[in-house]
Amino acid sequence: MATQSVLAFVGPSVNWWALLPQMILLGAALLIMLVSALAPKQTSTPFVTVTTMCAAITSYIVATGLWNDVQRDGPSSSIASAFGIDGFSIFFTMLILVALAATALLSHGYLDKEGIDAPEFHALLLCSAAGAIVMASANDLVVMFIGLEALSIGLYVMIAMHDRRQEARESAIKYFVLGAFSSAFLLYGIALTYGATGSTNLIHIRDYLGAVVFRDQHLLMAAMALLLVGLSFKVAAAPFHFWAPDVYQGAPSPVTGWMASVAKAAGFAALLRIFFAAFASHRIDWTPIVSVLAAVTLVVGAVMAILQNDVKRMLAFSSVSHAGYVLIAVQAATDQGTAAALFYLFTYTFMVLGTFAVVGAMGRDDDHPLANYAGLGRSRPVLAIGFTILLLAQAGIPTTSGFVAKFQVIAAAVNNKNYVLAGLAMITAVVGAFMYLRIVMAMYVDNEEQKSSVPSWHWSTKVVVIAMVGFTLLAGLVPQFLIEFAEDAVPILIRG
Amino acid sequence: MVAQNIFFGILAAIVAISALRMVTTRNIVHAALYLVAVLAGLGALYVLLTAEFVATTQVLVYIGAVMVLFLFGIMLTKAPLGNVMEMTGRQWPLAAVVAALLGGVTIYSLVDRFGSERLNTDGPIYRTADVSDEVFSTYIVPFEAVSVLLLAALIGAIVLARKD
Amino acid sequence: MDVTTGWYLVLGALLFVIGGTGLLIRRNPLVMLMCVELMLNGVNLSLVAFAQRLDDIGGQTVVFFVLVVAAAEVVVGLGLVVAILRRRPGTTADDLSTLRG
């Protein structure tokens, strides 16, 4: 049998075109490392930033081409059906590339200022972006797991790279231990899914679950629970959020922005692909659990955020509560709900990157008492307005994208007749708004003796903040284009 | 089947007891050595399950490479070698709840589904060549994706080790 | 009574639970890393047992990838632990208190 199969071995066909976005990123990572090894003098921070930006833009253009292909020819999957090419994967590819470009720009000023090696940082950033794209495109649980690990390992090291700051190292260890713990849960969930269905391929799992009536499905339930716990850690959903405040606070601000946007988006991409697309026939089993998770996350995120006095910790809990809103959309288990989740994640990425750009420019990494922001409205009026808009968008004030996103999520819950969760979402939105308003108030309160010494802003920070504010307002005023984009990006599992 | 039963019993006892001791021992070098016992016992169990490739890589990668890394880690950090009481009371209730819940749910569901399923003794025996076929056909994407992971780990290790 | 697939799976689950509990109660970062290895080994045993029962080679192949991931995690994890402990020997996770827990 062995010799026969060797002779008859035919490798699967590969759609190289679809793999191009992440191959460009990896190529850029290798190029940066190569040039930094051969010509250390020439690898200045500007060179590295430009390389990363070029890779992100080229990759984005390729992704746009792929999007048009998918809209014309319909979704497909490649390489033994393990790699999905559908609107969903390209949507997340674009989201991750936007975050990559913003983080590369933000780190530009930061790396020089703090004396961190730019080539290694950018190579890791590119690797973790490639991992996130693999995770969002995976049609196979093993591929998803490996993408997640590539994303996380890049992140652990990026957090710890600041070698003079012990807090960064400590938060890296914390994130590492909990990340490894949650990966183990996810992996055990994958193993039990394999045991229950006989495959790790999501297409096979979907077909199997749709065709077979289980005599007893305890094993599948346990598998789902483990997968959910593992992914809840990654997206910082309560009660698995307890690492978030410490890690967000200790990590360098550009990395915090990357973690809050991409790690969360990739985690939700995996959650949606596994639960919404592959476990669709068992939605009765998992929607109640996700609903409870959403409710707990909303309450914890909103209440704990109020109790904080450090801006970075406040924003960590705000990121927890955002995970709660996305979970509301996930538990709807409808196309409408999934589109709402995608819309939310896309707009949230812009808001959170802009917010952490401002936070990063406010000075030290780990110490952000609210008092530091006093008088910002007077000393830096334009950027204070930008920060205000980003915070109000996170609070869900009309004319910003945050309002449309929350509205869609709640509409999905109402259409699903889940009025309790919809009501809870509205209440926690009001409670949460209080926290954002506290920061805004602090900025505009006139405090004469606290002429806070705001460091000068690097031009790249300004570019990022302006771009993010612009998009937040654009998507708030004319959201239709993004709504249609999200509706076309609902995941579809298809063979071949 | 009798030999299978006896060997499973012996190996399972070694693995389970070593795992428990690893978690409870206060000496970090002992913990590492108990982990070696667990890994070796598992390698033997893989042979019982006719998974020759996994058994070999278990010995080569885990016992050969990962454990050496751990011992180097212990050496490099000058970890205290004597009895160090470092278990905290704070986490005990949480740990007990997690263990009971996790163990209860998984073991119940596994026994429920596979408790009476006999081992598959008349199926084909998969050799390493079959594993390689599978790696380069069905699992070619993870195989390629692993390269991203290893690149990240490589750069990460250099970054962390180079300075201070 | 013959050994069934269930016995192997229960052993795998036990290893996973022991590792997970250990990670929660132990405070030495190196031992916590070992506990993660224990959990992953529990998963590996389950995968091989499933593969044997389902007469499918996929499970064994997945173990190969888990091995790679585990090795990569250990490399980065030990790098982090060594970097932090070299500066402050004898640190336990509780001492990492610059940040509140």
Q: Do B87 and C44 touch (CB under 8 A)?
A: no
Residue C81 within any structural domain of the chain: yes
Answer for the pair A372, A362: CB distance below 8 angstroms, yes or no.
Answer: yes
Mean pLDDT estimate for chain A: 85
**pLDDT digits 0-9 by tens, A416-472:** 888 888 888 889 888 888 888 888 888 887 665 555 556 667 788 888 888 888 888
Q: Are A31 and A51 in contact (CB under 8 A)?
A: yes
Q: Do A130 and B148 touch (CB under 8 A)?
A: yes
Long-range contacts of A451-455 (CB under 8 A, 24+ apart): A451/A375, A451/A379, A452/A371, A452/A372, A452/A373, A452/A374, A452/A375, A452/A376, A452/A379, A454/A362, A454/A363, A454/A376, A454/A379, A454/A380, A455/A361, A455/A362, A455/A363
Name the B residues in 94-133 with CB < 8 Å from any C CB.
94-96, 98-99, 102-103, 106-107, 110-111, 114-120, 123-124, 126, 130-131
pTM metric for this prediction: 0.91
The SS3 assignment for A284 reads helix
A366 or A241: which leads in pLDDT: A241
Are C99 and A172 in contact (CB < 8 Å)? no
Name every chain B residue with its beta carbon within 8 A of the beta carbon of A189: none
Domains along chain B? 2-126 (1.20.120.1200)
Smallest Cα distance from A477 to chain C, Å: 40
* C-beta of residue A406 within 8 angstroms of C-beta of residue A396: yes
Q: How far is CA A222 from the centre of its chain?
A: 26
Distance of CA B27 to the CA centre of its chain: 20
In contact, C4 and B3? CB cutoff 8 Å: no
Range of the domain at C9: 5-91
* Residue of A5, A143, A176 to mutate, testing the C interface (most C Cβ within 10 Å of its Cβ): A176
Q: Whole-angstrom Cα distance, residue A312 to residue A291? A: 28
Q: How many Å apart are CA A67 and CA A90, to the nearest integer?
A: 6
Mean predicted confidence (pLDDT) in A389-414 = 88
Please count the other Cβ atoms lying within 10 Å of the Cβ belonging to residue A129. 35
Interface of A with B in 144-173 (CB under 8 A): 146-147, 149-150, 153-154, 156-157, 160-161, 163
Residues from chain A that touch C57, judged by Cβ atoms under 8 A, are none
Task: List subunits contacting chain B, requiring 3 or more Cβ pairs under 8 Å.
Answer: A, C
For residue B83, the model assigns a pLDDT of 43
> Which residue, among A493, A483, A137, has the nearest Cα to A340 in the 3D structure?
A483
pLDDT of residue A74: 79
* Chain-chain contact of B130 with A1 (C-beta, under 8 angstroms): yes
What's the whole-number mean pLDDT along residues C43-58? Answer: 88
CB A486 within 8 A of CB A343: yes
pLDDT confidence of A373, banded at 50, 70, 90? confident
Is C65 within 8 Å of A145 when comparing Cβ atoms?
yes
- The ipTM is 0.90
Average confidence (pLDDT) over A161-166: 74
* Contact status of B107 with chain A (Cβ, < 8 Å): no
Instruction: Determine, for residues C10 and B107 on separate chains, whether the beta-carbon distance falls below 8 Å.
Output: yes
Indicate which CATH number applies to the domain containing C57.
1.10.287.3510
Q: Does C41 touch chain A (CB under 8 A)?
A: no
User: Is A11–B140 a contact, with Cβ atoms under 8 angstroms apart?
Assistant: yes
Rounded distance, CA A384 to CA A373, Å? Answer: 9
Give B103-133 pLDDT, tens digit per residue: 888 888 888 777 777 777 776 777 888 888 8
Quick check: A32 pLDDT over 70? yes
Give the number of domains in chain C. 1
Minimal CA separation from C34 to chain B, in Å: 7
Q: What is the dihedral of CA A309, A312, A317, A321, to 10 degrees?
A: 130
Q: Do A166 and C98 touch (CB under 8 A)?
A: yes
**Would residue C43 count as lying in a domain?**
yes
Cross-chain residue pair C80–A184, CB shorter than 8 Å: no
Which is more confident, C28 or A293? Answer: A293
Picking from C34, C16, C27, C14, the residue whose alpha carbon sits closest to that of residue B31 is: C34
In a 10 Å sphere around its CB, with 0-12 CB exposed, 13-18 middle and 19+ buried, how is residue A37 labelled? Answer: exposed
Residues of chain B with pLDDT below 50 are: 81-85, 87
Give the pLDDT mean for A277-302.
88
